[in-house]
Amino acid sequence: MNDVRALVFDIFGTVVDWRSSVIAEGERLNAEKGLAVDWGAFADQWRGTYAPSMARVRDGELPWTNLDALHRMALDDLLPAFGVTGLSEAEIDHLNRVWHRLKPWPDSVAGLTRLKTRFTIGTLSNGNVALLTNMAKAAGLPWDVILSAELVRAYKPDAACYRSAADFLGLEIDQVMLVAGHKSDLWAAQKVGLRTGFVSRPLEFGPTYAANAAGGPAFDYEATDFLDLASQLGA
Amino acid sequence: MNDVRALVFDIFGTVVDWRSSVIAEGERLNAEKGLAVDWGAFADQWRGTYAPSMARVRDGELPWTNLDALHRMALDDLLPAFGVTGLSEAEIDHLNRVWHRLKPWPDSVAGLTRLKTRFTIGTLSNGNVALLTNMAKAAGLPWDVILSAELVRAYKPDAACYRSAADFLGLEIDQVMLVAGHKSDLWAAQKVGLRTGFVSRPLEFGPTYAANAAGGPAFDYEATDFLDLASQLGA
């Protein structure tokens, strides 16, 4: 086995708290516009379109479509379904880009800053490059490199997406570790040969929802947050 | 005209001083191995293979080949031509990766740090992603995003490479400015619709060589270094 040289991170739910971020911006919109939208339900349904919309791209039903555009297709359905009408194009576009403004978990920036001293750190996300770049700038995420499904036009869990991280970094596949809060993402990466680091994010789907079932193949590392992961990795 | 939102930078010669960096590492190799190579001539000849080797890829004579591999093809010819024999594979590979360890011009890190407060800043280089990522980490270049010809498999001055910067960043083409020390690079970007910023790097090819001829279409900005560019852009 080679030494790990690079850590690549799943983003939505692993590095940033998408649910609370969408709720917070949505509640500000409620106040501004006199709306009474349940933004927890809105966030869950919006996020619920994520896997099926990418599956349509993977299956060839849609041509390559980046995540901003998939989010927008879903948003255009969700707004009238939640009784939101009369927003301008600029307001809808701004709301769609809430995914560029998601807030990190409390340990994310400090943990990444430590991990960066010892490893190359990058995104490996289904989010598009603009989304990931803008998010990093807004949230202070200190990436060395932005890697995305968009670069190879293959959404995770497509093996091509995982392999691309090693190829772009000029590393062997087992010199790269995927860090994620979702076991399914890690198992798909494991099959391709990446190392895996599981970080528990029990609040991703809100306070009453257990995100990951127990069991399944083990990971190289399991950590409670990024600071714990940094300590385990000697960073 | 839209406001500029992102600055993308040519790298070799514009951000880093490839010639002095190759000479410095080469002279250490002379000392270690008892060689008497003229590393100024070596660096110039190595860099001299850059444009023709990429032209072979652009013309379809070679399949897509990243810059590390093009550098290595050239190095395998140059070492025996300069009488260097007996290096191990690991030593040759290390020397080939001198391009990952190039040193920035004295103003580069401070200027980029200022520009980053106001703009998204990224590479837009014919260097491959691994090279650019490793260089940034070694030299402390604070990029928001690593963009490379490798991502679209189209070497500058191919229009597809320049356009990809706006596409990946989700911006209009005239919201992106290429910053470069080479007028030919800027003119090619200008034709595609990017804004252009020329930064004079008179020492790129050594103290006795004038890199850029006078004349030709004007640029949006002309600066003496990155600090001057930052001041002109209010950063």
- Boundary-marking domain end, from B47, B79, B100: B100
A227, part of any domain? yes
Tell me if B1 is assigned to some domain.
no
- The model's pLDDT over A43-100, given as tens digits with 9 standing for 90+, comes to 999 999 999 999 999 999 999 999 999 999 999 999 999 999 999 999 999 999 999 9
Q: Quick one: A93 and A108 in the same domain?
A: no
Q: A150 with A201, same domain?
A: yes
What are the angstrom distances between the C-alpha of B3 and each of A90, B172, B195? 17, 10, 10
Would the CB atoms of A169 and B120 count as touching at under 8 Å?
no
Distance from CA of A28 to the nearest CA of B (A): 26
CATH number at residue B56: 1.10.150.240
Average pLDDT, chain A: 95
Candidates B130, B137, B145; nearest CB to A129: B145
Q: Nearest Cβ partner of B133 from A133, A137, A145?
A: A145
pLDDT, tens digit, for every residue of A84-98? 999 999 999 999 999
> Which of B41, B11, B36, B49 lies closest to B23 in space, CA to CA?
B41
Contacts of B180 (CB under 8 A, 6+ apart): B9, B10, B14, B186, B189, B196, B197, B198, B199
Does residue A203 carry a pLDDT above 90? no
What is the arithmetic mean of pLDDT over B128-137? 98
SS3 category, A171: coil
Q: Per the domain annotation, does B38 fall within a domain?
A: yes
Q: Does B129 touch chain A (CB under 8 A)?
A: yes
Which residues of chain A does B169 touch, with a Cβ-Cβ cutoff of 8 Å? 129-130, 133
Which pLDDT score is estimated for A211? 63
pLDDT band at A150 (very low <50, low <70, confident <90, very high): very high
pTM: 0.96
Asked whether residue A161 falls in the same domain as residue A57, the answer is no
pLDDT per residue over B162-216, tens digit each?
A: 999 999 999 999 999 999 999 999 999 999 999 999 999 988 888 777 667 777 8
Q: What is the mean pLDDT of residues B79-87?
A: 96
- Residue A212 sits in the same domain as residue A146: yes
For residues B13 and B28, membership in a common domain is answered with no
Residues B154 and B211 in one domain: yes
The ipTM, to two decimals, is 0.94
Are B144 and A136 a contacting pair at CB < 8 A? yes
Contact B9, B97 (CB under 8 A): no
User: What spatial distance separates the first Cα and last Cα of chain A, rounded to whole Å?
Assistant: 20
Q: A135 and A196 share a domain?
A: yes
- Is the Cβ pair A129, B169 closer than 8 Å? yes
Q: How many CA atoms does the CB half-sphere of A138 hold within 13 Å?
A: 16
Are the beta carbons of B68 and B130 closer than 8 angstroms? yes
Which one of A100, A121, A152 terminates a domain?
A: A100
Q: Would you say residue B76 lies in a domain?
A: yes
The dihedral of CA B187, B193, B197, B201: what is its sign? negative
**pLDDT at residue A215, as a whole number:** 79
Maximal C-alpha separation, chain A = 58
pLDDT at B78 over 70: yes
**A100, A123, A149 — which closes off a domain?**
A100
When divided into structural domains, chain B yields a total of 2
Chain A residues with CB inside 8 Å of B137's CB? Answer: 120, 144
Does residue A214 surpass a pLDDT of 80? no
pLDDT value of residue B19: 96
Q: Does A161 touch chain B (CB under 8 A)?
A: no
Question: What's the pLDDT score for residue A35?
Answer: 96
**What single string gives the DSSP state of each residue in B192-232?**
HT-EEEEE--TTTT-TT---S-S-SS--SEEESSHHHHHHH
Q: What is the span of the domain harbouring residue B184? A: 6-17+102-232
Instruction: Collect all residues of chain B within an 8 Å Cβ-Cβ radius of residue A145.
Output: 129, 133, 146
Q: Do B150 and A130 touch (CB under 8 A)?
A: no
Contact B170 A68 (CB under 8 A): yes
Question: How far is the alpha carbon of B131 from chain A, nearest alpha carbon, in Å?
Answer: 8
Instruction: Give domain status of residue A1, yes or no.
Output: no
Measure CA A112 to chain center.
15
Residues A168 and A91 in one domain: no
CA angle B85, B88, B94 (to 5 degrees): 105
Q: Check if A25 contacts B (Cβ < 8 Å).
A: no
Q: For a pLDDT cut of 90, what percent of chain B falls above it?
A: 92
Chain A residues with CB under 8 Å of B146 CB are: 144-146
One domain for residues A96 and A106: no
> What tokens does B224 get?
């003496």
Residue B219 counted as domain residue:
yes
- Does B96 contact chain A (CB < 8 Å)? no
SS3 labels along A71-112 = HHHHHHHHHHHCCCCCCCHHHHHHHHHHHHCCCECCCHHHHH
Q: Between chains, do B171 and A130 touch, taking CB under 8 Å as contact?
A: yes
Does residue A154 sit in the same domain as residue A182? yes
Is B168 within 8 Å of A68 (Cβ atoms)?
no
Q: Do residues B166 and B59 both lie within one domain? A: no
The closest CB to that of B129, out of A129, A133, A145, belongs to: A145
The confidence band for A1, taking pLDDT boundaries of 50, 70 and 90, is low
Q: Strand, helix or coil at A8?
A: strand
> Residue B106 and residue A216: Cα distance in Å, rounded?
52
Q: Answer whether residue A219 is part of any domain.
A: yes
Name residue, tokens 């023709």.
Answer: B52
Give contacts of B168 with chain A, Cβ < 8 Å: 128-130, 150
**A22 within some domain:** yes
- pLDDT value at position A165? 98
Whether B57 shows a pLDDT value over 70: the answer reads yes
Cis peptide before A157 (omega within 30 of 0): yes
Say how far apart CA A106 and CA A121 lie, in whole Å: 18
**A167 and A215 share one domain:** yes
| Whether the predicted pLDDT of A194 surpasses 70 | yes
CB contact under 8 A, B168 and A130: yes
pLDDT at A174 over 90: yes
| Each residue's pLDDT tens digit, A104-147 | 999 999 999 999 999 999 999 999 999 999 999 999 999 999 99
**Which 64-83 residues of chain B touch chain A by CB within 8 A?**
68
Q: Which two tokens stand for residue A119?
A: 């490893």
Q: What is the CATH number of the domain that holds B11?
A: 3.40.50.1000
Q: What is the mean pLDDT of residues A16-31?
A: 97
